[in-house]
Amino acid sequence: MTQFDAARGHSFLQPELLQQALRHRSAGTPHNERLEFLGDALVNLFVAEALYVRWPKVDEGALTRARAELVRESSLAQIARDLELGAKLTLGPGEMKSGGHRRDSILADAVEALVAAVYLDSDFETCRAAVLPWFEPAMAALPPPNKVGKDAKTRLQEWLQGKQKPLPVYALLAEEGEEHARTFRVSCTLEQPGLVTEGEGLSRRAAEQAAADAALARIESRTPR
């Protein structure tokens, strides 16, 4: 485990903590649920502090939305994938068979448990120094503070309203697949500026969001910097 530890910013003095952090409840005890509880609090504190320093003039509401974006299940699961934790997890036979090492909830819990394990193996400052780089790519990719937490359709609508332009028109182009696994394709048409984009998703709403996001990207590419 030494190379695995060092590659992620911390070399464990107590390797049993690492083993526990990566053991799911389905694999027996000691599992990672208690570590997950502690790690959740540490992650929220580390991220809150980093945002507080990064955005010195941003209000509480925007900071709260940004923190929620960074510590949500899907974001933590992506960190787990970046750290290649899935292959290191110890799972029970049922979870292994059902692909638990790919499931967002299990991966996110493992990240929180791993944070707690690093903390218990070292101290607060060492843990923070090891963990914060895991969040840096997502933190750097955050939109401007006033846009955090707003979905693409909302942001597109606000941009158009701010420019006193007509609102977008969404239209369903295609609906394919079996009942339990449908794929939707939707267009987003803007009168001003004149452009049409498309998006796909597992629901019509998700497809509309994808089309709106594509429209925002096109608008941004046309906007002089």
d(CA 44, CA 135): 11
Q: Bridge-partner residues for 23, per DSSP? A: 90
Feature table: binding site for Mg(2+): 36, 109, 112
Question: Could you please report the per-residue DSSP string of 126-195?
Answer: HHHHHHHHHHHHHHHTPPPGGGTT--HHHHHHHHHHHTT-PPPEEEEEEEES-GGG-EEEEEEEETTTTE
Query: Is 49 a catalytic site residue?
Result: no
d(CA 114, CA 116): 5
Feature table: binding site: 36, 109, 112
d(CA 164, CA 154): 15
Q: Please identify which of the residues 69, 95, 112, 121 carries the catalytic annotation.
A: 112
Query: Is 112 a catalytic site residue?
Result: yes
CA dist 161 to 155, 192, 200, 219, Å? 10, 11, 25, 14
* % helix, strand, coil for the chain, step of 5: 65, 10, 25
Looking up tokens 């509401």, which residue turns up? 61
By annotation, the residues acting in catalysis are 40, 112
